[in-house]
Amino acid sequence: MPESRSATLYRMVLPEHTCPFGVRAKEMLEQAGYEIEEHILESRDEVEAFKDEHGVSTTPQVFIDGERIGGSSDLEAYLAEENA
């Protein structure tokens, strides 16, 4: 059995809005068998601080083995490549 793989997922869950792309990214990681270290960004301030810190313009952001993969569409491409 392959060793467990882990990913870190930062996604936005605000009181008035749960980002559907974050939900999708989490589902893709689960289906691919990753253990997920999840970080929920719970306010606009947290989201903006995260984006500034990492130099990105969108959430979610996925990191695998310390490397930033990107958002949900980037993750989808990464996983497709991994399984090619």
| pLDDT of the residue at 10 | 98
**Average per-residue pLDDT in the chain?**
94
Whether this prediction's pTM lies above 0.95 is answered by no
Q: What is the CA radius of gyration of the chain?
A: 13
User: pLDDT confidence of 83, banded at 50, 70, 90?
Assistant: confident
Sheet strands (E) in the chain: 5-14, 17-18, 34-41, 61-64, 67-70
Element (H, E) at 82: helix 72-82
Convert the pLDDT of each residue in 42-80 to its tens digit: 999 999 999 999 999 999 999 999 899 999 999 999 999
Question: Which CATH architecture does the domain made up of 5-82 adopt?
Answer: 3-Layer(aba) Sandwich (3.40)
Q: Where are the domains of the chain?
A: 5-82
Mean pLDDT of 15-25: 96
